[in-house]
Structure 1
């Protein structure tokens, strides 16, 4: 899957706002080139919500390397939730650095290098092995955030 394939898929889910920070939009320079997916039926950036998925094109300071300094390398991060994390990895969320020795392994669903303990999963350079799984994870994460949004709206 390419970055554009993922953006098209996730951005096509109901009520998704896709943000692609870049020069001149007021976003921090470190985020330029990355993509953030929010559930936002009204199309505005949620003030208190986190994205349900992201695409990052570089390693961020302070996190274990996913070797995103390679040409064309990127990582998709998905807020899968703890139950889905267990289903995909066979273990409870824990210290992500201890859960995966090499966060740069391509086309493999693995704990997120920083937020794995919160139920986030990641895929570096998704390909044929993870195409279906990544689509399922994105749908699942979107469903979780949409349900949370609806519960808050109904209060």
Structure 2
């Protein structure tokens, strides 16, 4: 019988902050948010990933109130999103979740983000070692997308 090897939040945090350049982490609202912001040009920079460890007021779809359950969220490019899920779902109504047949409570399963899937955000609860390899590719994509957006913002600021 094989045992699943799980990745913890420390591994994800370490990867994002040491393997991806120009990243600034910020802790707030039960999550750690990651911004591309080399040189701290902006107050926050460009948002591209989060680690969420508890339910929020408007985000209970993943059941993060379960012991040890956490979610990695990544703002990937439209192309990466489309390859995984096809076209993004419509924006949900206030307080709602995106429409689709995804189980947002399933561990180790890539899904659209329950609220921000319409903006090409993807999510995974408690990724396994096997899923982590895909997550690293998606984090690189999200980081690249953030870098492009950041550079546009820098040009506008001048």
TM-score range for the pair, normalised by the shorter chain length: 0.7 to 0.9
Query: What are the superposed Cα offsets for residues 53-103 of structure 1, whole Å, 9 maximum, x if unpaired?
Result: 0011112223352111111110011001322111112x1000453224420
Query: What are the superposed Cα offsets for residues 101-141 of structure 1, whole Å, 9 maximum, x if unpaired?
Result: 42011111110000001100000111123111111111111
**Which of 91, 94, 109 is residue 89 of structure 2 equivalent to?**
94
How far is 1:146 from its partner?
0.8
Structure 2, gaps ≥5 residues long: 1-6, 91-96
**Which of 12, 19, 37 is residue 6 of structure 1 equivalent to?**
12
Helix, strand or coil at the partner of 1:129: helix
Distance in 1 (CA, whole Å) between partners of 2:47 and 2:150 is 12
Tell me whether 114-123 or 94-103 shows the greater mean CA deviation: 94-103
Distance in 2 (CA, whole Å) between partners of 1:11 and 1:43 is 14
Q: How many residues align?
A: 143
Helix, strand or coil at the partner of 2:40: coil
Taking structure 1 as the reference length, what is the TM-score of the superposition?
0.83
Structure 1, gaps ≥5 residues long: 22-30
Helix, strand or coil at the partner of 1:52: strand
How far is 1:46 from its partner?
3.0
**Which of 38, 43, 46 is residue 43 of structure 2 equivalent to?**
46
Higher relative contact order (CA 8 A, sep 6+): 2
Distance in 1 (CA, whole Å) between partners of 2:52 and 2:101 is 18
Q: RMSD in angstroms over aligned alpha carbons?
A: 1.9
How far is 1:20 from its partner?
2.4
Helix, strand or coil at the partner of 1:51: strand
